[in-house]
Amino acid sequence: MPSQAYSEPLFDLLSFARRGPGRRDHLSPGEMQHIARTVRRTPEVLVKVLPSPATTLSAVRKHLAYIGRKGELDLESDDGERLRDGHDLVEDWDLDLDEFRRKSDLTGTRGREPARLVHKVIFSMPAGTQPDKVLAAVKNFAREEFALKHRYAMALHTDTDSPHVHVVIRAVSERGQRLHIRKATLREWRSGFAHHLRELGVAANATPRYIRGETTLRKSDGIYRASLRGESTHMRARSDAVARELAQGKLRIELGKAGLVKTHEEVRGHWLAVSRILTREGHPELAAHVRQFSEQMPPPKTEKEWMATKLAVRMRDGRARESPTL
């Protein structure tokens, strides 16, 4: 459910140019602001739930040690306390009781994945964003979203180009209600995080990737981090397979290509409908930006096609370096 403390309607591009009673033909001031941020490519926030479950006390302790860099970084709890040892949080949050209740509840749980004791979430911004502003925005968001409901703790990491905050949220509230994070929840959280960044003077936006014309698939956290270190066997195998197809002179098209093309054309059509509405409502400059944005959307590509493009560039650059200068 949307936060009661913060609520801003999400921009629904697909409601424009839609046939039938759901069709939209008017834009609110808030929607126009969101459109302007998107077409002018305001930096996009990232909110990601880590997929590896924390269903045991040992897994929770291991993750708390990781985000606290084994005592090198402070963990800040929801009550403002700064801790160097996450073990205190496990006791303070009574996670041992949560684990005991879960193991004792034998009704309707057979065959199901064990319930999480905590949720592990990352809030991130692109390189160049002030880390202290990212941390402050996450604190303000978490206070409004979870205060007096779910216990949480966080730590700021600046060891990559993108400053990010790891947040650990107790899965069961103080009243015994379990937090379920769905896709709609993440959309709300992205919007709230971006809102709090803007309140601090940081340009930030929260628009779904497909609406921005981005078609590259996101990898799981483990694959993503391994690829950054150059240690992903999955990505290496995919890259080698693409290289073999390129060497044979034929890149086989993936089954999802047709769907990507269809979605891309539909999104462009909705953006053009928004441009027409803006023109009719007396906003020709923003309408022109929207048309330009839709025209400059990158062509839809599958993961294999993106890899092939990068490999071709790498091979071309390698040949250029090897060629003797005249």
Give me the residues paired with residue 39 across strands: none
pLDDT over 60 (residue 96): yes
The reply to whether 206 falls in a domain is no
The reply to whether 133 falls in a domain is yes
Cβ atoms of residues 67 and 73 within 8 Å: yes
3-state secondary structure of 176: coil
Task: Indicate if 192 and 269 belong to the same structural domain.
Answer: no
Q: What is the pLDDT of residues 33-60, one digit of tens each?
A: 999 999 999 999 999 999 888 889 999 9
Smallest Cα–Cα separation from 298: which of 313, 309, 311, 312?
A: 309
Q: What's 120's DSSP letter?
A: E
Supply the CATH number for residue 97's domain: 3.30.930.30
322 compared with 296, residue with greater pLDDT: 296
Task: Indicate if 257 and 138 belong to the same structural domain.
Answer: no
Percent of the chain with pLDDT over 70: 79
Task: Indicate if 185 and 284 belong to the same structural domain.
Answer: no
Task: Indicate if 236 and 303 belong to the same structural domain.
Answer: yes
Task: Indicate if 171 and 242 belong to the same structural domain.
Answer: no
Look at residue 220 in the predicted model and tell me its pLDDT: 47
Weakest mean pLDDT among 45-54, 132-141, 149-158: 45-54
Look at residue 223 in the predicted model and tell me its pLDDT: 43
Report the domain count for the chain: 2
The reply to whether 257 falls in a domain is yes
3-state secondary structure of 187: helix
Look at residue 225 in the predicted model and tell me its pLDDT: 47
Task: Indicate if 180 and 230 belong to the same structural domain.
Answer: no
Q: Taking residues 215-230, what's their average pLDDT?
A: 49
Look at residue 315 in the predicted model and tell me its pLDDT: 64
| Phi (first) and psi of residue 165, to 5 degrees | -120, 125
Q: d(Cα 284, Cα 286) in Å, to the nearest integer?
A: 6
The reply to whether 323 falls in a domain is no
Task: Indicate if 289 and 157 belong to the same structural domain.
Answer: no
For residue 253, the tally of other CB atoms under 10 A from its CB is 11
Q: Which residue matches tokens 């009781």? A: 97
As a dihedral over the C-alpha atoms of residue 33, residue 35, residue 40, residue 45, rounded to 10 degrees, the angle is: 80
Weakest mean pLDDT among 170-179, 234-243, 295-304: 234-243
Cβ atoms of residues 23 and 102 within 8 Å: no
Weakest mean pLDDT among 11-15, 106-110, 165-169, 185-189: 106-110
Look at residue 25 in the predicted model and tell me its pLDDT: 79
The reply to whether 168 falls in a domain is yes
Task: Indicate if 128 and 235 belong to the same structural domain.
Answer: no
The reply to whether 210 falls in a domain is no
Q: Taking residues 286-308, what's their average pLDDT?
A: 87
The reply to whether 237 falls in a domain is yes
Q: Taking residues 160-182, what's their average pLDDT?
A: 94
Task: Indicate if 171 and 271 belong to the same structural domain.
Answer: no
Q: Which domain holds residue 237?
A: 221-318
Smallest Cα–Cα separation from 272: which of 193, 213, 201, 214?
A: 213
Q: What is the pLDDT of residues 246-256, one digit of tens each?
A: 677 777 776 77
Task: Indicate if 153 and 72 belong to the same structural domain.
Answer: yes
Q: Which of 199, 232, 253 is the last residue of a domain?
A: 199
Q: Taking residues 113-129, what's their average pLDDT?
A: 93
pLDDT over 50 (residue 297): yes
Cβ atoms of residues 138 and 124 within 8 Å: no
pLDDT over 60 (residue 64): yes
Q: Which residue matches tokens 């947040």? A: 167
The pTM assigned to this predicted structure is: 0.80
What's the mean per-residue pLDDT of the chain? Answer: 83
Q: Which residue matches tokens 């808030």? A: 30
Task: Indicate if 249 and 195 belong to the same structural domain.
Answer: no
Q: Give the pLDDT band (50/70/90) at residue 304.
A: confident
Task: Indicate if 52 and 189 belong to the same structural domain.
Answer: yes
The reply to whether 150 falls in a domain is yes
